[in-house]
Amino acid sequence: MALISDLYGSMVFNDHVMQERLPSATYKILSQTLKEGKPLDLDEANAVAHAMKEWAIEKGATHYTHWFQPLTGITSEKHDSFINPQDDGRALVSFSGKELIQGEPDASSFPSGGLRSTFEARGYTAWDPTSYAFIKDGVLCIPTAFISYTGEALDKKTPLLRSMDAIAREAKRVLRFFGRDNATICTTVGPEQEYFLIKEEDYANRLDLLMTGRTLFGTSPCKGQELEEHYFGAVRPTVKRFMEELNAELWKLDIPATTEHNEVAPAQHELAPIFMSANAAIDANLLTMELMKKVASRHSMICLHHEKPFEGINGNGKHNNWSISADGQNMLDPGSTPSENLQFLVFLTAVIKAVDEYQGLLRVSVASAGNDHRLGANEAPPAIISVFLGDELESIVRAIIHSDDYINKGASLMDLGVPTLPKFIKDNTDRNRTSPFAFTGNKFEFRMPGGEINLSDANTVLNTIVAKTLADFADAVEDAPDFEKTAKEYMKQVLTDHQRIIFNGDNYCDDWPLEAEKRGLLNYRSTPECLPLIASQESIELFERFGVMSKIELESRMEVYLDQYSMKINIEGLVSSRMVRARYLPAIIEYSSMIAHSIEAKKDVSSALNTRAEEALLNRLTEGINAISDCVDVLDAAVAESAAIAEPQAKATAYLEKVIPAMSELRTHVDEMELLVGHDYWPVPSYNHMLFYT
């Protein structure tokens, strides 16, 4: 195997390569562009494109593509060859600055929510030089933003970049009060990706997994996650090989995958890379997800990122670790004496205020049909947003609110009671795993995003709401004669006003929703319920003020997401019905008729034979067949009725209120039958089979 140092970043046109290959004047200008967001002129772009092409061809690339993130959330690419055929039969290899900077894919096949009228399908992709170009499968991929002919964002990257700009502007303003001018500000993200690995043959035998990414039927396995033996347990050899190969692929792309371990559920695992700037981290996460699928298939496995592939078992989340850095210094690092660290407290206060004021926008930034199975269902985190600070910070906040002196308890030494083990300093904050928004030492961990989600929306919201509260702070202290005094008074007021959002308890506890309701915190359980918040007055005012999204862009997004929700549930409804009619009902009928024949055969031998048990079983199977058949009729009707609705909100609500309950009622009966029908008759692989393999 190649040395890690040789492998690492070998497929990325990163800073090191640029420095080596670009004329030094061009390199300087490009660095300046990256640092200050200055535009690049065509001459420089031509020089960059040329170097990029030469490098890519040496690495075996034949094509290039503008790589972008339409509102579907996944990435898109259209490959163009570097080759330019000539009249004399030869071919020139070319790639110009213009081709690097701008592309023009047909936008008509991507959701735009009415932004693109049918006669104007044109869309542009624009190079994002802040995320490095890379080679994947012989194609030079250039990360780009995707916008309409009239300049509206048609993708997830554009608003994210605008939001990073907004928070950078406001953080700079705040840092000026601390005597720091012109710091380079960047929001940092480290996403922890959860996933399941199952065998390809099982996947191929389940229409639900194939079509929807999750099982729509299946009884719980005999053993779930109750023994907690899987978490951090030894990784199976097949999975170990997968992880090693995946790491090598990721390292080639400069993606610093570091931790990997089993998760709580059987067959579930997690991968966390080292954090990067938000946009690079999100590009990297999307690539990671793609590579996970690709590498899994080389091992005859399938990688599932869906938020709830298996009912009754932990789903997939994607914890979004987030912070702000200024010239490389972490603004959320409390240092050794947080109570005396005014700059840290100002940023902390801004985050707390932002999360409380814009709970709804944070909630909606992670809303999806898949994630509805996690948030507010039987799994954490809940749909109610609250902030966990930990004991030390919470005491500091209380001290500020009550104008008390904060007494630093200091770090205590842990004695493990065994002389040979080292004594170590106890962390001041215990780990809390149930909070949706937890302070974890020097960053916030937003735990609501789902496994399948593109993190751009969540980070666009986070950056923009914190930009807003940093601006509030800057406005409040701007003309104050005594900065420190005014800052402290401001924090006292803000923390008092927003203390309801702080909750250090157990978020899974049954009392919490009641307590949260008393505090006036929002609790949106479903996607259709919260999607209207995207285009609410509050949202339009906020995003327009910071130049992140316009009213039209927000409205179009709301429409696209409503549509996506309806389409997802529509597919689930159709697949449920198809599986029942084509596979489950025939199987249960066949099994029951085998029992009926057995009873008949026995009676033929002797009417004195007691077939009581078989008759009871036959009876239960027949009842099941009837119930399933009734329920699938109800489901079909609900799907047809919902599909016929035109207005997007009403349509999504119909899918939520009619189709989902019909599917779950149907599932209950099918799952009951799974416990009765003989193994050889059951038409699809069971949970036991899929989740426990060697």
**Residues at the interface with ligand ADP (CB under 6 A):** 188-190, 192, 259, 272-275, 319, 321-323, 330, 442-443, 445
Residue 490 binds which of Mg ion, ligand ADP, none (CB < 5-8 A, kind-dependent): none
CA distances from 162 to 67, 184, 287 (A): 18, 15, 22
**Of residues 188 and 592, the one with the C-beta less far from ligand ADP:** 188
Enter the tokens of residue 295.
Answer: 């590498």
Residue 259 binds which of Mg ion, ligand ADP, none (CB < 5-8 A, kind-dependent): ligand ADP
Enter the tokens of residue 456.
Answer: 């751009």
Could you tell me how many residues of this chain bind Mg ion (CB under 5 A)? 2
The amino acid at residue 488 is: K
Do the Cβ atoms of 193 and 291 come closer than 8 Å? Answer: no
**Of residues 271 and 291, the one with the C-beta less far from Mg ion:** 271
Do the Cβ atoms of 413 and 515 come closer than 8 Å? Answer: no
**Shortest-Cβ-distance residue relative to Mg ion:** 319
Do the Cβ atoms of 69 and 157 come closer than 8 Å? Answer: yes
Residue 186: strand pairing partners: 325
Handedness of CA 245, 74, 452, 14 (dihedral sign): positive
Q: How far is the CB of 640 from ligand ADP (least distance, A)?
A: 44
Footprint of Mg ion on residues 186-225 (CB under 5 A)? Answer: 192
**Shortest-Cβ-distance residue relative to ligand ADP:** 190
CA distance 659 to 642: 8
Stretch that binds Mg ion, among 122-130, 316-324, 460-468, 643-651 (CB under 5 A): 316-324
Residue 65 binds which of ligand ADP, Mg ion, none (CB < 5-8 A, kind-dependent): none
Which region holds residue 195: left if phi is over 0, alpha if psi is between -120 and 50, else beta?
Answer: beta
Answer for which of 50, 230, 319, 669 binds Mg ion (CB under 5 A) is 319
**Of residues 190 and 573, the one with the C-beta less far from ligand ADP:** 190
Query: DSSP letters of 226-266?
Result: TT--STTPPPPHHHHHHHHHHHHHHHHTT--EEEEEE-SST
Q: Strands (DSSP E) along 78-228, which ranges? A: 79-81, 83-85, 91-93, 102-103, 123-127, 134-136, 139-148, 185-199
Interface mask toward Mg ion for 265-304; x: CB under 5 A:
----------------------------------------
Enter the tokens of residue 165.
Answer: 């700009």
**Of residues 144 and 321, the one with the C-beta less far from Mg ion:** 321
Residue corresponding to tokens 């902030």: 387
Residue 19 binds which of ligand ADP, Mg ion, none (CB < 5-8 A, kind-dependent): none
**Of residues 55 and 388, the one with the C-beta less far from ligand ADP:** 388
**Of residues 448 and 618, the one with the C-beta less far from Mg ion:** 448
**Of residues 316 and 323, the one with the C-beta less far from ligand ADP:** 323
Which helix (H) or strand (E) covers residue 203, if one does? helix 200-204
Residue 188 binds which of ligand ADP, Mg ion, none (CB < 5-8 A, kind-dependent): ligand ADP
Q: How far is the CB of 321 from Mg ion (least distance, A)?
A: 7
Residue 556 binds which of Mg ion, ligand ADP, none (CB < 5-8 A, kind-dependent): none
Q: Rounded to the nearest 10 degrees, how much is the dihedral formed by the CA atoms of 407, 413, 415, 421?
A: 160
Q: How far is the CB of 507 from Mg ion (least distance, A)?
A: 14
**Of residues 129 and 381, the one with the C-beta less far from Mg ion:** 381
Residues 6+ apart with CB under 8 A from 141: 64, 65, 67, 77, 133, 134, 135
Q: Rounded to the nearest 10 degrees, how much is the dihedral formed by the CA atoms of 2, 5, 7, 12?
A: -170
Residue 77 binds which of Mg ion, ligand ADP, none (CB < 5-8 A, kind-dependent): none
Q: How far is the CB of 277 from ligand ADP (least distance, A)?
A: 10
User: Does residue 318 bind Mg ion (CB under 5 A)?
Assistant: no
Residue 443 binds which of ligand ADP, Mg ion, none (CB < 5-8 A, kind-dependent): ligand ADP
Enter the tokens of residue 243.
Answer: 């992880």
**Of residues 435 and 526, the one with the C-beta less far from Mg ion:** 435
Q: How far is the CB of 418 from ligand ADP (least distance, A)?
A: 25
Write out the residues near Mg ion by the rule CB under 5 A.
192, 319
